[in-house]
Amino acid sequence: MSCRAGFVWGTNQHFNRFIEDCGITCELVTPHMLAAPFYRKTFNCLIIPTGFGNHLYSNLLPALRASSPRIKKFVENGGNLLVYGAATDKPYVYDWLPFIVTYKHDCHPRRIDCIPSSDTGTLIDDYDPLCIECDGSFISHEGICVGRAQDTDVIIEKQIEKGKIVVTSVHEYPAKKFLKAFCCAGLPTIF
């Protein structure tokens, strides 16, 4: 089975190559493409990398907000969405998601404990869970916490009809096993 991921950013990054090295076809989706109502592609998964909310790194946030209804529909119809840290001091930069997430920017290494009942916790399997770089935490949200660092949530998930959204402030690539499983678990869905 072929899995297709849309990597949402302005230009190709090393992350694109990492996704392809996991056996997943990866296509760059620029902010202009994301916000364009005529853009139609089929993906199993969309990936929003670290820094999407910081205007010094990207111009992605306005496009995410403009395409919020399409993102919600993509997930409802079975596509999966992986979202990283916003890398900004603005707590409401996740307001384009179909559920509430409030973020606090705070970059430093942390010990992360994941609940074993969720496959999402395998996101950090390629790293030492005692010291993983994170760029913040989720101080309030409507998701399920699957990864905590002391008393703060750093990995959350939310099932939205047929698809799943994973939001993480882990500042590392996802474990290859997690990425392959997460992308391929998403249904081929038109975005």
Q: Is 128 exposed, middle or buried (0-12, 13-18, 19+ CB in 10 A)?
A: exposed
**How much is the pLDDT for 84?**
98
- What is the longest distance spanned by two Cα atoms in the chain? 45
Contact 41, 189 (CB under 8 A): no
Q: In the 8-state DSSP scheme, what is residue 6?
A: E
**CATH assignment of 4-190, among 3.40.50.300, 3.40.190.10, 3.20.20.80, 3.40.50.880:** 3.40.50.880
Q: State if pTM tops 0.85.
A: yes
Q: Rounded CA gap, 23 and 6, in Å?
A: 14
Tally of residues, the chain: 191
First to last CA, the chain: 19
Q: Rounded CA gap, 43 and 90, in Å?
A: 29
Domains of the chain: which residue ranges? Answer: 4-190
**Model pLDDT for residues 78-130, shown as the tens digit of each residue:** 999 999 999 999 999 999 999 999 999 999 999 999 999 999 999 999 999 99
Contact 46, 16 (CB under 8 A): no
If DSSP codes are grouped into helix, strand and coil, which group holds residue 103? strand
pLDDT at position 2 over 90:
no
